[in-house]
Amino acid sequence: MTENVTARERDVSPAPGSADASDSGLSLVLISLFRGVVYRDEQPRVWVSLLRLEPRVRDQVALFGLELVLDEAEGFAYVRQREPEEGEEALPRLVPRRPLGYMVSLLLALLRKKLAEHDATGGETRLILTGEELVDMVRLFLPPTGDEVRLQRRIERAVNQAVDLGFLRRLRGQDDRYEVRRILASFVDGQWLSEFEARLAEYREHVQGEDE
């Protein structure tokens, strides 16, 4: 009996110098999260490993003062800086804050409002907009200007930044069509959206001052 148990233990033990499969999967998940947002549809292998190793992932990122944000329903995950508890010493920030320009902030606010309206209709789950629709959407909330070309370029730059930040995704083979990523709802919550009109007034005032 003792010999059988010993043999069985030898069979399941990893070979010398080889990495355990779960450890390899954990490394892949952590590296992917530290690099940015993990999407189920874009990184299915990483996503499956993340769901399987979720408790270990949470423990590992906590060592760096981070917390895992995982939305299985919408299919995305990312890490963010954890706010220290009362009396706890704050760790240096590993995830830097990214200050956004007012044009990008305005675009994201409008996209979040558009996403909420889209969901309220109960139709297609994905919100797809063309580049022209994005430009027109933002232009409506900006003061009149005598330089339409310059204004359009500024809006297009904001769209490109939203793509880089992961809130918009260009459709493959359709560069002028964009999907609004649902991770936007995780960054712009309901309370923020309820204050939209007040924030919009601030954006208008700021942009008006820039133009003057």
Mean confidence (pLDDT) of the chain: 79
Give the per-residue pLDDT at 11: 40
Give the per-residue pLDDT at 72: 92
Q: Do domains 14-81 and 102-211 have the same CATH topology?
A: yes
Top CATH class of 14-81 equals mainly alpha
- Statement: the pTM of the whole predicted model exceeds 0.85: no
Contacts of 60-67 spanning 24+ positions with Cβ under 8 A: 60/26, 60/30, 61/30, 61/33, 64/91, 64/94, 65/90, 65/91, 65/92, 65/93, 65/94, 66/94, 66/95
Give the per-residue pLDDT at 3: 45
Give the per-residue pLDDT at 157: 92
Q: What is the pLDDT along the chain (212 residues), one digit of tens a residue?
A: 444 444 433 343 444 444 455 677 899 999 999 988 899 988 999 999 999 999 999 999 998 889 999 999 889 999 988 877 776 676 666 666 666 777 888 898 889 889 888 888 876 788 999 999 999 888 887 777 777 888 888 889 999 999 988 899 999 888 789 999 988 888 776 666 667 667 666 666 665 555 55
Domains of the chain, residue spans: 14-81, 102-211
3-state secondary structure (DSSP) of residue 167: coil
Give the per-residue pLDDT at 20: 56
Top CATH class of 102-211 equals mainly alpha
